[in-house]
Structure 1
Amino acid sequence: MNKIHDSFIYKVVSFIWRKTYIQYKEFLREKKYRKYWEEHRVSLGNQNEDLNFFIIRRREPYIGLFSFYITSVFQVNKALEMGYIPIIDLQNNENIYLNQNQIGRVNAWEYYFKQPCGYNLNDIKHSKNIILGSGYVKEMFPYNDINYLLDKNGEIRKWKEIARKYFCLSEAATHKIECIYNSFLGERVLGVLCRGTDYTSSQPSGHHRQPSLDELFIKVDEVIIVHQCTKIFLGTEDILIYKKFKEKYGEKVYTNRKKFVEYHGEKSIGKVVINEVSDKYEEGMDYLVAIAVLSKCNCFIGGHTSGTVGVILMNKEFDYCYIFDLGLYN
């Protein structure tokens, strides 16, 4: 009886010990992970002793290009104010624009944009003074405020100027954008940015509610008449939305995309790209070209998304701009 009792106690103690040990290891791993993504200094050698480099990075692997773009605009300004040289890093962590074998070897940022001050990661691999910026988004300009985006108080101009000066497009992106834009010369173009059904189906809590197609069509019809637009440039990756626009507006509708996404269930565009899209470079380029072309249109309509903020930052001035303000998903 005592042997059975002792065996039972041993098993209980062993189970508690193993569970405690596993929890402790998870705690240490999480602590190490958090420390890695907090802002901290590193030294990789003795080069560039008189320069301080600030590496801009993001922790989340599934964020889109313009989510990273708008947080980087803020971080570039922060770095410059502190006398640091900013370098944007889409190389050293998993993201939706790199295949697994490219991580640590290719900076996807440079597919789409030039580095803010001309230095890249390879230039500083033996530098003495490097600050790895926080991968957490702790500070931002108030991009969630539609009145701020629409420049009701004049403050968005500062961020537009930073974007214009330090976020120059790559040569490949510039060529593609000019080809699309030049095909519209002589037309009055309404740009429409419509987030895919991944967003409207999953309704992520705390994110801005997106307009339905019916709501979009009412606004598009109004703007076409009032502002005499002859073409519609549609920014969407969603095949369903594209087909609905073509059914309603026919040959007026243009897009830069040749391939679209068909959503099933509640997968986000980020997860679709990272898991299902084979040409991640082209997917990112299509997105960038769409946002840049939208920023050049005469008029613009869009839901409140990171892409819309990108359009606003890249644009000089629209004849008419409307952002749907429908509150947040619960």
Structure 2
Amino acid sequence: MLNPFRQSQYSPVLSDIESEEKNERALQGRQLQPPKRLCAVVLGALVLGIAFFSGVIFENHFLRHQALDPYQNRERCSSSSTRREWRSFSAAEKANYLDAVQCLRETPSRLHSDYSLYDDFPWSFERRLPLHWIPKLLDWSLDWENITNSPIWDNELGFGGNGNPNTEGIDSRGIGQCVVDGPFALLSVPYISSKYSRHCLSRSFNTTDSSESLKLQPHMLDELMNTDDYEDFNLGLENTAHVSIPYMVRGDFSMFNAPYDPVFFLHHTQLDRLWWLWQQKDIQNRLYQYRGAAAFKSLEKASVKDLLLMGKLIADIEVADVLDTESGVLCYNY
């Protein structure tokens, strides 16, 4: 059991939210050109794929066991997609994915004028809405000894590498320099957390502190998988793998505008995969574990009827719809 993890619960950093733009842009009847159809497919995966898991982590739904309920009898998906690790894709598949992410930058926002659809996800994330995209994953347990050696940082078939040390840092400590290589080189990022401060996409790999890498060791994940209590699993994952990667990448990834770094989504897909694997080890007792506080510091009890707020990108969804990835609206496995 991982009872020690209960001693350190994650508390969201609350910040003042600046006035929102009133003039919202709607994509009414917009016809996508053929090269952009992949972008539309990616958008669907982005919004739906990991919405529930991310909500649990960042809203502190620290949930306890609930017995199997009528939701287990929901209709199964007739065809489920399988999400694969980045290394398993061909060069063409990687290029298609990177092009689809770029497509989001060229598509108008659904929430604000003068912004892109790409901007909608960091905006929603900073406001603690559980929106993430996850069509690919990065198994960082394969790189735990040195995460900076991962192929994900490749300049041609990856997401570019470390920030250039000769550029200015984005925070008061000088951490987070401009990414100047790869498909997202000099990507313009308008915010630092909730504060408007336009800058380039930034990273600053932490190569001097190995303590976070140690939390990604395979035996640490095995320990998590062997606990039967959802709260222990959730807190254990939060206090190790979930926070370790941002601490090692730093820059924008370590702030509440983290989704501006597209690697953010591959990281959270891996978290979703670990939750799925944890469920698969004992489907009868783990698949529908959901009970506890409805939100951080809330006295209200959580329910499978609770709504996951999707920030106007799609309709809100009940928790019950996403507990099982192969029923309801998700239809995927790992």
Q: TM-score, normalised by structure 2?
A: 0.29
Q: Which one scores higher on RCO, CA 8 angstroms, separation ≥ 6?
A: 2
| Larger helix fraction of residues | 1
Q: TM-score, normalised by structure 1?
A: 0.29
Give the number of the structure whose alpha-carbon radius of gyration is greater: 1
